[in-house]
A and B are shown apart, each in its own frame.
Chain A
């Protein structure tokens, strides 16, 4: 087996394995960040109605469910629903929820609910949809891979302009295409999370979303520019555009830090991520990087084959003449 193939297999299996690990970790390793629910109510009796103050809650409630109520005095209870899958979505902090139920065990303060009503469902910031939140382990690594890809476009463009190396031009072109693919993935998965979390698919007023979208447009432009014509002056122009357009990448990357943004800011913010989530994210990033390099390698090879075929065709035409 020749060496090029070995690298292919390493990259491909690497990306598949890491993707699988990411999926497993996202499902089984990272705890659902269901968050605390404190009850502002009188001490439960045999049968009572409780008002819950909710800070983000899990899926649907159906039927009966049990909560652990912890007495924290002053007739307030803290109810830990971290792993509870039975509360309705679309709630956020300070939503008041009325729970009707039966106190099963007064000593342990175990409360069995029979129904839940939402008293006030105005949405505000908070971790609302922990299940949808799992998409984050795909979304963020995809975004990361697109930054990486566009970075390579930038580097390739500079090298191409400096010494006219066709190889780097091919790398830049291939990397841009793959980058747009990853960026599209990030832009599509974002709304899938945003809908349950924010209640809307997209927020035009958010700088992170806006800058990322513009970055996507720029590289879409880059690809369009290269679509039409084979080679010649286009490569040089594309390289110039690959350098100018790169400005959008740091802009998108830092935007949620520099300007106020509703977009969560997972990397490098204190207390932003639990260590489990951080680990999973890391694995996801590794997976996507492997996938990126695998795709890049394949795409570059394809492009080079294309040029070889064209050369052969030219030669043959020459001979026929």
Chain B
């Protein structure tokens, strides 16, 4: 099951890095979002107003991430090769796992690019907090992708895929991933990652819940 998941992920990434279709779009998209925030907070400095940092980062990750999620299924849905995957003799959950992995890799690349863009445009130095921040970004992205891959698989079958993804996904992640991640990142920025255990636990717990739900439900999603 997981072997096939990895095979699918490697195939996806091979296709992606050959065409660079999504990754370039997503990175540019995240750049645009950071720029938009830069202009929106024209007279603020990240050093002086640290509470704006974590929200800006996570909103950027979220929207850039959602941007990439839909296309992870839509291309294959439209060409029919998704059926090719469904015909393979393994649990349908392995398709979910494959997409989860490839989405995660793309998202992390975009996340790190966004962290860099932020530091450039807001003239901000993460300093000694870079390790906890990166760890939180990874944790949050894993959770985000767990939910996102499931919802993307759903919305690819719906009219208006992108808007459907946004409408269905945001309420699912706001309290379970986004808010705790923002709070935890704010704490990490103050150098107090130890205080963020509560938030980290919330993210981890809900990731497991969503993963279990995906395991149970993904086959129904695909077959639609």
Mostly, the A contact residues are helix
| Contact between A228 and B159, CB atoms less than 8 A apart | yes
Mostly, the B contact residues are helix
Q: A221-B168, A240-B217, A244-B150 known; A229 and B175 CB under 8 Å?
A: no
Does A10 sit at the interface, judged by CB under 8 A?
Answer: no
Q: A214-B174, A217-B174, A243-B213 are in contact. List 16 more A-B contacts (CB 8 A).
A: A217-B170, A221-B171, A225-B164, A228-B158, A233-B157, A234-B157, A236-B220, A236-B224, A240-B217, A240-B220, A240-B221, A241-B154, A244-B172, A244-B217, A248-B171, A251-B175
User: A residues bordering B, Cβ < 8 Å?
Assistant: 161, 210-211, 214, 217-218, 221, 224-225, 228-229, 232-234, 236-237, 239-241, 243-245, 247-248, 251
Chain A residues whose C-beta falls within 8 Å of the C-beta of B171 in the assembled complex: 214, 217-218, 221, 245, 248
| Contact between B158 and A234, CB atoms less than 8 A apart | yes
Chain B residues whose C-beta falls within 8 Å of the C-beta of A241 in the assembled complex: 154, 168
Does B167 sit at the interface, judged by CB under 8 A?
Answer: yes
Question: Nearest Cβ distance between residue B128 and chain A, in whole angstroms?
Answer: 30
Most central of A237, A243, A247 by chain B CB within 10 Å: A237
Q: Which residue of A lies closest to B154 (CB)?
A: A237
Q: A214-B175, A228-B158, A247-B209 known; A236 and B167 CB under 8 Å?
A: no
Most central of A210, A214, A224, A244 by chain B CB within 10 Å: A244
Question: What are 9 A-to-B residue pairs whose CB atoms are below 8 Å?
Answer: A210-B175, A214-B175, A218-B172, A221-B171, A225-B164, A233-B224, A234-B224, A237-B154, A244-B150
Q: Which residue of B lies closest to A160 (CB)?
A: B220
CA A234 to CA B150, docked complex, whole Å: 15
CA A161 to CA B159, docked complex, whole Å: 21
CA A34 to CA B114, docked complex, whole Å: 56
Chain B residues whose C-beta falls within 8 Å of the C-beta of A214 in the assembled complex: 171, 174-175
| Contact between B224 and A224, CB atoms less than 8 A apart | no
In this complex, the interface size class of chain B, counting residues with CB under 8 Å from chain A, is: 20 to 34
Q: Which residue of B lies closest to A247 (CB)?
A: B209
The residues in B between 141 and 197 inclusive whose CB is less than 8 angstroms from any CB of A are: 150, 154-155, 157-160, 164, 167-168, 170-172, 174-175
CA A75 to CA B150, docked complex, whole Å: 69
Closest 4 CB pairs of A and B: A233-B224, A217-B171, A218-B171, A233-B157
Q: Which residue of A lies closest to B218 (CB)?
A: A240
Does B223 sit at the interface, judged by CB under 8 A?
Answer: yes
CA A251 to CA B205, docked complex, whole Å: 13
Chain A residues whose C-beta falls within 8 Å of the C-beta of B154 in the assembled complex: 237, 240-241
Question: Nearest Cβ distance between residue A228 and chain B, in whole angstroms?
Answer: 5
CA A232 to CA B159, docked complex, whole Å: 12
Which of B160, B167, B210, B221 contacts A221 (CB under 8 A)? B167
Question: Nearest Cβ distance between residue B93 and chain A, in whole angstroms?
Answer: 14
Chain A residues whose C-beta falls within 8 Å of the C-beta of B168 in the assembled complex: 221, 225, 241
Chain A residues whose C-beta falls within 8 Å of the C-beta of B221 in the assembled complex: 236-237, 240
Chain B residues whose C-beta falls within 8 Å of the C-beta of A217 in the assembled complex: 170-171, 174
Question: Nearest Cβ distance between residue B47 and chain A, in whole angstroms?
Answer: 26
Question: Nearest Cβ distance between residue A2 and chain B, in whole angstroms?
Answer: 37
Chain A residues whose C-beta falls within 8 Å of the C-beta of B167 in the assembled complex: 221, 224-225
Q: A225-B158, A243-B217 known; A236 and B175 CB under 8 Å?
A: no
The residues in B between 26 and 58 inclusive whose CB is less than 8 angstroms from any CB of A are: none
CA A244 to CA B174, docked complex, whole Å: 14
Question: Nearest Cβ distance between residue A105 and chain B, in whole angstroms?
Answer: 59
CA A232 to CA B213, docked complex, whole Å: 22
CA A234 to CA B220, docked complex, whole Å: 11
Question: Nearest Cβ distance between residue B201 and chain A, in whole angstroms?
Answer: 13
CA A156 to CA B220, docked complex, whole Å: 15
CA A240 to CA B215, docked complex, whole Å: 12
Question: Nearest Cβ distance between residue B184 and chain A, in whole angstroms?
Answer: 16
Q: Which residue of A lies closest to B168 (CB)?
A: A221
Chain B residues whose C-beta falls within 8 Å of the C-beta of A233 in the assembled complex: 157-158, 224
CA A161 to CA B220, docked complex, whole Å: 7
Most central of A243, A245, A247, A251 by chain B CB within 10 Å: A247
